[in-house]
């Protein structure tokens, strides 16, 4: 399947508009492409108890899994700002559970970087090789 990263990024941008980020000020959106072409989006949802905050990436993964999807091809992440964030460590680990080679595009207002999860999280924790 050809991956239309421009379209996926547009969907991540739209998702970022729904973010609830009164504390960090960083509105983040994620769009997760499944192998059947379905796209699930998520946004960050912050909380006054900071550790309860959920990132846009995990929000998208959990929505996809809840809908019965587990086969992911690519993820686009957009932060509405001028700082470029790759996915945090927690999100990398959650993504690696389903596809350790996931294509990941992360972007902000100024540009983007295309990478993959194997580069961002080499030797991810897994129970499958024990």
Active site residue 57: yes
Q: Which is nearer to Zn ion, 4 or 90 (CB)?
A: 90
9 vs 39: CA distance, rounded Å: 11
| Choices 64-72, 74-82, 86-94, 98-106 (CB under 5 A): range interacting with Zn ion | 86-94
**What's the closest the beta carbon of residue 45 comes to Zn ion, in angstroms?**
12
Give the residue carrying structure tokens 């991810």: 124
Give the residue carrying structure tokens 């587990």: 70
The answer to whether residue 55 forms part of the interface with Zn ion (CB under 5 A) is yes
The answer to whether residue 89 forms part of the interface with Zn ion (CB under 5 A) is no
Give the residue carrying structure tokens 């993504």: 95
Interface residue with Zn ion, options 67, 88, 113, 114 (CB under 5 A): 88
Which residue in 17, 46, 57, 129 is the catalytic one? 57
Task: Please identify the residue of the shown chain whose CB is closest to the bound Zn ion.
Answer: 55
Interface residue with Zn ion, options 91, 96, 107, 117 (CB under 5 A): 91
- Provide the binding-site residues for Zn ion, judged by CB under 5 A: 55, 88, 91
Residues identified as active-site: 57
């Amino acid at each position: 399947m050809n991956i239309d990263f421009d379209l996926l990024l547009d969907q991540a941008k739209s998702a970022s508009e729904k973010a609830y980020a009164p504390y960090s000020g960083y509105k983040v959106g994620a769009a997760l492409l499944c192998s059947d072409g379905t796209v699930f989006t998520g946004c960050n949802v912050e909380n006054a108890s900071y550790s309860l905050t959920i990132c846009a990436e995990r929000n998208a993964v959990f929505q996809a899994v809840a809908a019965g999807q587990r086969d992911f091809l690519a993820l686009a992440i957009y932060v509405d700002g001028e700082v470029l964030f790759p996915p945090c460590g927690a999100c990398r680990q959650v993504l690696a559970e389903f596809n350790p080679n996931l294509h990941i595009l992360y972007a902000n207002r100024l540009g983007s970087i295309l990478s993959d999860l194997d580069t961002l999280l080499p030797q991810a924790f897994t129970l499958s090789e024990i």
